[in-house]
Amino acid sequence: MKFLDQAKVYVRSGDGGAGAVSFLREKFVEFGGPNGGNGGRGGDVIVECVDGLNTLIDYRYQQHFKAKTGTHGMGKNRTGADGADVVLRVPVGTQVFEDDNETLIADLTEVGQRVVLLTGGNGGFGNAHFKTSSNQAPRHANPGQEGKEKWIWLRLKLIADAGLVGLPNAGKSTFLSSVSAANPKIADYPFTTLHPNLGVVSIGEHDFVLADIPGLIEGASEGAGLGDRFLGHVERCAVLIHLIDGTQEDVKAAYQTIRGELAAYDERLAEKPEIVVLNKIDAIDPDELKDKLKVLKRISKAEVMTVSAATRQNIDQVLYRVVSVLDEERAAAAESERRKVEPNWTP
C-alpha cells in the first residue's frame, strides 16, 4: 500500500426532504383536513478515526463525498426518513483543515473519535404543520433546507514515540530495520526513503514506536529536497534520535544543518529531547572517532552516543536511553495533568 499523508477532499451534507401537501380522503369523512408529513433531515458529514489504517491513500482515488438527501414527507402524516450520513474513515493522527490548509478543524489522535464536519439540512414542514383555527386547509409546505458544502484538507501526522532524523544516508533505515521488524528500503544512495516508516521496538520489558523520517537537507523547511512535507511527522514524537554519519568529513555541519531545519520549521521541534548518535563507527578508525566525538559534544553540549546500525554495535544502549527519556516525558505529562485538576498538588 502506498503512503499518502495529505489529501484534499470535497464534502457536502445532505439536503432536507420537502414537506408534503396532502389531505385526508376517506369515505364518510367529510372534512378530513391536511395530513402532509414533514421531510426527513439530510445526512451529516462525519470524520471518524479508525484502527487498521496508516495512510490516506483511499482519498487519492475518491475526493468527493456527499451525504444522502432526506426523504420527502408523505400523506397520512408520514415523516420522511433521514438521509444517510457519509463517514470519512481516517487513521490515527489525522488533522482536518479548512480549504486554506491553515485553519485546524479537528485533530484525531485516538481510535473512535468522531467529528461532525457538516450537518444535514432540516426537513421541510408538511401542510399539517400549518393548520390553525383560521386556516384549516393550508395548501403549502416547506421545501427542505439545503445542505452545506466545503473543501477540506486531511493531513496525517504519524504518532510515534521516537523519531529518527538526519541527513540522507545517515543510516536511519538501517537503524530501524535493526531494532524492529520493519523492512524499509535500504541502498547506498541519498533519498532512498521516500516516505516515513514505522516500527515497533521491544527492549527489555518496554515497547515503543519508532518512526524513520526521510532525509532532510539544508533548506528543507522551505521546500528543498523532499521539503518540509515530512517534518510534520516529527511533531508528535516525544524524543528525537539524531543520527549522524560518522564516515563524512564535517560532522559539525551535519549536526547544525538538521538542528537549523528543525528550528526553522517549528521552534517546538528544536526544543524536543534529543539523543545525538554517531553512526557507522565500524567504518572509521579510533583516532578519527575520538576527534569527531569531541566536535559533536562541543557543538551539541550533550552526551554523544556511538553505534553501528549495520553490526548492531551499541544499539541496545541507545534504545534504553530512549526508554529512559520516554519515561521522564510521560511522568512530566502526568504531573502536568494532575496539576490542572489539583493546582496545589505536589509530588
3-state secondary structure of 332: helix
Tens of pLDDT along 144-183? 999 999 999 998 887 788 888 888 878 888 888 888 865 6
* Amino acid at position 294, single letter: K
Known binder of ligand: residue 203? no
pLDDT at 182: 57
> Beta strands of the chain (E only): which ranges?
6-12, 45-49, 64-66, 86-90, 94-97, 104-108, 114-118, 149-156, 162-165, 197-203, 206-212, 239-245, 274-279, 304-306
pLDDT at 37: 95
Known binder of ligand: residue 13? no
HEC letters along 215-275: CCCCCHHHCCCCCCCCHHHHCCCCEEEEEEECCCCCHHHHHHHHHHHHHHHCHHHHCCCEE
pLDDT at 312: 87
Known binder of ligand: residue 284? no
Torsion 50-55-58-64 (CA) sign: positive
137 pairs with which residues across the strands?
Answer: none
Known binder of ligand: residue 77? no
Known binder of ligand: residue 282? yes
Domains of the chain: 1-156 (2.70.210.12), 162-341 (3.40.50.300)
- Per-residue pLDDT for 135 more than 80? yes
Cα 52 to the center of its chain, rounded Å: 14
d(C-alpha 25, C-alpha 60), whole Å: 53
- Per-residue pLDDT for 67 more than 80? yes
Known binder of ligand: residue 173? yes
pLDDT at 42: 97
pLDDT at 53: 82
Known binder of ligand: residue 193? yes
pLDDT at 80: 95
Tell me the CA distances in angstroms from 82 to 40, 71, 133, one per residue in order.
4, 6, 30
Tens of pLDDT along 254-293? 898 888 888 887 788 888 889 999 998 888 888 898 999 9
Residue recorded with cell 544516508: 169
Torsion 177-182-187-193 (CA) sign: negative
pTM of the model: 0.72
Known binder of ligand: residue 347? no
pLDDT, average across residues 293-320: 90
- In 3D space, the residue among 268, 240, 94, 270 whose CA is nearest the CA of residue 161 turns out to be 240
Known binder of ligand: residue 166? yes
pLDDT at 2: 59
**Strand arrangement, sheet containing 86-90:** 86-90, 45-49, 114-118
Known binder of ligand: residue 279? yes
Grid coordinates representing 43? 445526512
Known binder of ligand: residue 213? yes
* Amino acid at position 54, single letter: N
Find the largest Cα–Cα distance for the chain: 110
pLDDT at 341: 67
Comparing 86-90, 95-99, 218-222, 341-345, the range with the smallest average pLDDT is 218-222
Grid coordinates representing 37? 408529513
Known binder of ligand: residue 300? no
pLDDT, average across residues 309-320: 89
Known binder of ligand: residue 170? yes
Known binder of ligand: residue 221? no
Average pLDDT, the chain: 85
Known binder of ligand: residue 134? no
Known binder of ligand: residue 121? no
Tens of pLDDT along 37-46? 999 999 999 9
Tens of pLDDT along 189-242? 444 455 677 788 888 888 888 888 776 666 545 555 454 566 777 788 889 999
